[in-house]
Structure 1
């Protein structure tokens, strides 16, 4: 088997056994293709590569200026590949098993203030054509109300939104399902968008087009609004609302959801469940908000705190 055959077999196994998302498999594929190209320049391949070569590759990645998170992801892909090839008997050993990665730098997530989110929501309701306003308002309200990942949001099935639901069933990473509650504004935006969406779909059926199963349909290959298109929409809303576009992405709204919940007293475990994090350690990055709240409580309420 060639290196590309190994990569293909590994990615197929990821999809079949672990339910890995398409975006995850695409990222692993790109990382492993880069590694096999690097090996080819040194007349080596997956059957021959040693631990020393893998470590040299990681050093080269660092010398190229790749971010720590990128290097950590590449090593993760390599380690999972060789664990798979060892378990499948494609190699008698696992050359990556003892390699320690660079880890991930713990940085505070970029987020938005409550006032900035309000301005974005106002722009969604007022900018663009009627159907676009309804769609954009629904997108923004759902994202801020639930903290969904952008891939989860744009691929929502319309069946999940029928009947004025109080809860949405979301299919997350690894095929894991979770329930998230909807706020009243989100439910109202969803109801208004469904009326417009269904009318457009009825017109499309009259012209012979099949009905979409997605809440945010598109005539593109995926059948639903793409992540890239939503990224463009949210940047346009940032410009219209006077919020710096550099600070606004779908992921910063997800961070805002978690940060604002925690600031208003929500439990960290509950936020972990709502975000779909498998490990609470991933959610703990938001505790900087809790630290600030505790500090304010002490300064405001402790009898010995000095007040100017």
Structure 2
């Protein structure tokens, strides 16, 4: 079933569950998000529209309707914030190929750039993943693949094991609507994949020996989905961050995806190539990473350049 055929309530529930698991959002915050998004969904339903088909003009019309209704500026800003967050979530999940509200600004709000990680922080995470007990090979493989490919978390945890066979130089990623893209693997990612796959296959052979069917997923789980869940992976990556000494609030699968893009760009990679590997439909979406890089370079200059320090003393 595609995202477009899911009821809007399903979109809202999935978004709220992600907020609870990934950002540890407070219950009152979740309730407020839920109320605001259900109001927007009701307005769309009356117009026979769906989250999957909303355009920027529709959201702008809704905000005008909220103003006409006499809602306070703070309430309107909160509703727009909730709408922007669910569409950012939908875009990251691959439910939509675009983000229809990326150009709409909340009054008084600065443009938000994606958080990312430094090369040293990523290295610390990868090092820590190698010392996580029985699941070390799996955990290292998860992080190496995520950083090497920039996959969305759902694409990563649902990877079929067939995509990893044969020590691949490229891995096939299935995105929104069944669209496929090929992403190259770095040597460290390939090495961790080969090591983990041997361990995974040995475990699957044990299960088959006692009558259990073999999993089709690269990262199998005993849960209902049959694969490692996004929620468990979010918890896992926070545990690794704590072990690595990297601030926990900085580390999510999305920040590793952003690190993949910004580090490639800093290394001279072509923006169109990064667009293809991230699975962005429009290069304009990928261009935000140039702003992240600009901001990072500015920060480096202001922090380390002797003239910048001299001007601060005046």
User: After TM superposition, is the score higher than 0.5?
Assistant: yes
In structure 2, distance between residues paired with 1:118 and 1:13: 35
In 1, the alpha carbon distance for the partners of 2:175 and 2:158 equals: 11
Query: Residue in 1 aligned with 2:188?
Result: 185
Give the drift of 1:174.
2.9
- Say which SS state the counterpart of residue 287 (structure 2) adopts: helix
Match of 1:207 in 2: 210
Matches within 5 A, 1:1-308: 14-15=4-5, 26=14, 34-35=38-39, 46=46, 55-56=65-66, 59=71, 63=75, 66=78, 68-72=80-84, 102-103=104-105, 106-129=111-134, 132-291=135-294
- Contact preservation (8 Å) 1:108, 1:285: yes
Q: Unmatched 5+ residue regions in structure 2?
A: 17-33, 50-60, 89-102, 302-306
Whether contact under 8 Å (2:114, 2:292) holds in the other structure is: no
How far apart are 1:31 and its partner, in Å?
8.4
Q: CA deviation at 1:180?
A: 0.1
CA distance change for structure 1 residues 25 and 282 in 2, over 3 Å: closer, same or farther?
farther
CA distance in 2 between counterparts of 1:112 and 1:75 reads 23
Deviation for aligned residue 1:64: 7.1
Whole-angstrom distance in 1 between the partners of 2:286 and 2:265 = 11
Question: 2:203 and 2:147 mapped to 1: Cα distance?
Answer: 26
CA distance in 2, matches of 1:195, 1:24: 39
Q: If you compute each CA radius of gyration, which structure gives the higher value, 1 or 2? A: 1
Kept in 2: contact 1:231–1:250 (CA 8 A): yes
Cα distance in structure 2, aligned partners of 1:275 and 1:107: 19
What SS class does the counterpart of residue 66 from structure 1 fall into?
helix
1:35 positional shift: 2.6
Q: Which moved more, 1:54-63 or 1:247-256?
A: 54-63
Once residues 13 and 118 of structure 1 are traced to their aligned partners in structure 2, the CA distance between those partners, rounded to angstroms, is: 35
- Match of 1:210, SS state, is coil
| Contact 1:111–1:253 (8 Å) recurs in 2 | yes
CA contact under 8 A between 1:110 and 1:247: conserved in structure 2? yes
C-alpha separation between the residues in 2 aligned to 1:252 and 1:143?
A: 10
Distance 2:182 2:12 in 1: 22
Write the deviation string for residues 236-290 of structure 1: whole angstroms up to 9, x where unpaired: 0001011111110010000100111111111111111111111111111111255
TM-score, scaled to structure 2: 0.68
How far is 1:106 from its partner?
3.3
- Separation in 1 of the partners of 2:236 and 2:12? 24
TM-score w.r.t. the length of structure 1 is 0.70
The unaligned stretches of length 5 or more in structure 1 are 1-10, 17-21, 40-44, 77-100, 299-304
Greater displacement, 205-214 / 139-148: 205-214
1:72 CA drift (Å): 4.0
Taking only aligned residues, the RMSD between alpha carbons, in angstroms, comes to 4.0
Post-superposition offset of 1:14: 2.0
1:263 and 1:290 in contact (8 A); partners too: yes
Q: 1:74 to 1:154 in 2, by over 3 A?
A: closer
Equivalences, count: 254
